[in-house]
Structure 1
Amino acid sequence: MTDLARARWRTSTRSGGSGGNCVEVADNLPDVVGVRDSKDPTGPALTFAPATWAAFVTDLKEQRQG
């Protein structure tokens, strides 16, 4: 299990201020990127290798442009 105690979580600037359906990402740790539901910050988090997360984000950006 990955220790996310030092994770600094952030929410997308596109999420709006209502605190609704958002994910939070912690990318400040050297070997892992954490992703969690903003409505359940003490609940489970997914973890990804930084390269895997970067590829995912790049793919989303490309789909949005296409």
Structure 2
Amino acid sequence: MSSIRDFVFGRVLPKAYEDEAAAWAELKNTLAERLRAASEAGTSATPVSQLTEETLKGHGKDKS
């Protein structure tokens, strides 16, 4: 089922609409893969603040 927006963009700006549709599809696939990986990996007991600090140190952006 198409919306009026889809119809208009498809007729008026077909290339831009195709690019947007491709970007949305890529985003959906990326998020679905990350959600699947996260659900398989389980949870971590490490606090978010500690993970953030470790990540920043790894990128040379130490908070201290």
TM-score range, shorter chain: 0.3 to 0.5
Higher strand share: 1
Higher helix share: 2
Q: Which has the higher contact order (CA 8 A, sep 6+)?
A: 1
Please, what TM-score do these two structures have when normalized by structure 1? 0.32
Please, what TM-score do these two structures have when normalized by structure 2? 0.33
